[in-house]
Amino acid sequence: MTQPTPNANDLKPLMDEVAAMIVSALNLEVAASEIAADTPLYGDGLGLDSIDILEVALAVSKQYGFQLRADDEDNLKIFSSLHSLASHIAANRTK
């Protein structure tokens, strides 16, 4: 049974935290506050590439205590936006 997806308001503090983590991990020249919940992370939008996504996955595993696997069939969905990544972290975090 899947958990319901939290709405953006419930996830706001976590999305802010994840946005700051992404900016820090990748040394982006954008403020974390400028990353909207529905901004695509990959390609257009934030413009991350596959190497950036691997860096984000490593940062998530260190900060939230679970691994994002390269072979996960849901990766396109997980990394589709800040909101979807934060939702996945909320559902799977161990710390």
Where are the chain's structural domains? 8-27+39-92
CA pair distance 43, 64, nearest whole angstrom = 25
- DSSP H helical ranges for the chain: 8-26, 50-64, 75-78, 82-92
- pLDDT in the model for residue 66: 95
Task: Give 33-76 pLDDT, tens digit per residue.
Answer: 999 999 899 888 899 998 999 999 999 999 999 999 888 899 99
CATH number of 8-27+39-92: 1.10.1200.10
